[in-house]
Amino acid sequence: MNLYEHISLNKRKSILLITFFFIIIGFLGYAFGLYLGDAFIGLGFAIIFSTIMTLISFYSGDKLILGMSSAVLADRKKYPHLVNTVEGLAIAAGIPTPKIYVINDSAINAFATGRDPKHASVTVTTGAIQRLKRDELEGVIAHELAHVRNYDIRMMMFVVVLVGIIALLSDFFLRSMIYGRGGRRDMKGSGIIGIIIMLIGLVLAILAPLIAQLIKLAVNRQREFLADSDGALLSRNPDGLANALKKIKNDKEPLVEAANKATAHLFIENPLRNFKSRVNNLFSTHPDITERIKRLESL
């Protein structure tokens, strides 16, 4: 499979994933509506609400994320080396040069966001600029540009928003069931089928946020591995990124202050992780760093 086929596969997968999330959302809305009296109002509300949210995130999610991380545009004069590295690797990747941002933080980290390669940005901490060697920084940037080129940035934006909406809807649903006035007796289709749908809805409301979250994390970990190997292909030097990851691993202060739970999945390595508690499981945003280094070194 060549790169371009790979990218279109990724686009198809995102569509599939988004459709799946929309079906869950639709069903939640339907069951919620049924509970409140009109299933189709619930369905309509859920679909319209999540479509609007998705569109908003599609067009301005990156600005939101950059703002939240207090990232500032990188000045060419101040960071000539960073700008040159991004420009060079963008040429190698065959994408337009993304906007380049800097976060003032001594930890080594970086992330990419945007909706497609034409509207993308790469953000690097000042710690990464100062503490990484040339080829290490190159490896990190190559990893981020791989995310941009593979449309991971778009996929993750959608996934994060939809997972958030599912959590929100489930929460609504469960709260109104617990605190509501015992439900409405006049709900439509309250026959056997109605009750079954309600029950499924209830189970879904409890499980959906968890499942959605797990899917998000699994997808994210998968994309990290892929971006590692694509990045290595781009810079023709897997050791650069491997050494950068080693530096992050051995760093005493790997936490990025401006990062939070909402943005953690974006970074090249989890910016929130306390390396003392090295628990890696279903709930990690990133694959195990040692495993990543091992895979890179075997390339």
Task: Provide the annotated active-site residues.
Answer: 144
**Taking CB under 8 A as the rule, does residue 236 contact other proteins?**
yes
CB 5 → other proteins: shortest distance, Å?
10
CB 150 → other proteins: shortest distance, Å?
15
Of 8 and 19, nearer to other proteins (C-beta) is 8
Of 24 and 141, nearer to other proteins (C-beta) is 141
**Taking CB under 8 A as the rule, does residue 299 contact other proteins?**
no
Instruction: Write the CB contacts of 42 (distance below 8 Å, at least 6 apart in sequence).
Output: 29, 30, 31, 32, 33, 34, 35, 36
Nearest CA to 242 out of 186, 296, 180 is that of 296
Q: Which stretch binds other proteins (CB under 8 A): 31-39, 89-97, 221-229, 269-277?
A: 89-97
SS3 3: helix
**Taking CB under 8 A as the rule, does residue 54 contact other proteins?**
no
Which residues inside 259-298 make contact with other proteins, applying CB under 8 A? none
SS3 5: helix
Site string for other proteins, 3-42 (x = CB under 8 A): xx--------------------------------------
Q: Tokens at residue 151, please?
A: 């449309």
Nearest CA to 59 out of 146, 154, 151, 168 is that of 154
Of 50 and 237, nearer to other proteins (C-beta) is 237
Q: Which stretch binds other proteins (CB under 8 A): 82-90, 102-110, 179-187, 194-202?
A: 82-90
Element at 222 (helix H, strand E): helix 192-235
Strands (E), 16-87: 71-73
Q: Which stretch binds other proteins (CB under 8 A): 85-93, 124-132, 254-262, 278-286?
A: 85-93
Of 171 and 297, nearer to other proteins (C-beta) is 297
Distance CA 43, CA 55 (A): 18
CB 14 → other proteins: shortest distance, Å?
22
Total residues in contact with other proteins, by rule CB under 8 A:
17
Residue pair 271/109 in contact by the 8 Å Cβ criterion: yes
With CB under 8 A as the contact rule, the residue among 26, 44, 88, 194 that binds other proteins is 88
CB 87 → other proteins: shortest distance, Å?
6
With CB under 8 A as the contact rule, the residue among 17, 26, 87, 295 that binds other proteins is 87
CB 135 → other proteins: shortest distance, Å?
8
CA angle 19, 25, 28 (to 5 degrees): 145
Distance CA 299, CA 296 (A): 5
With CB under 8 A as the contact rule, the residue among 8, 51, 60, 84 that binds other proteins is 84
Length of the chain: 299
Q: Tokens at residue 8, please?
A: 């279109």
Token pair 């499981």 is found at: 281
Q: Tokens at residue 250, please?
A: 């051995």
Nearest CA to 111 out of 238, 256, 242 is that of 256
* Chain residues in the site for other proteins (CB under 8 A): 2-4, 80-81, 84-85, 87-89, 91-94, 134, 236-237
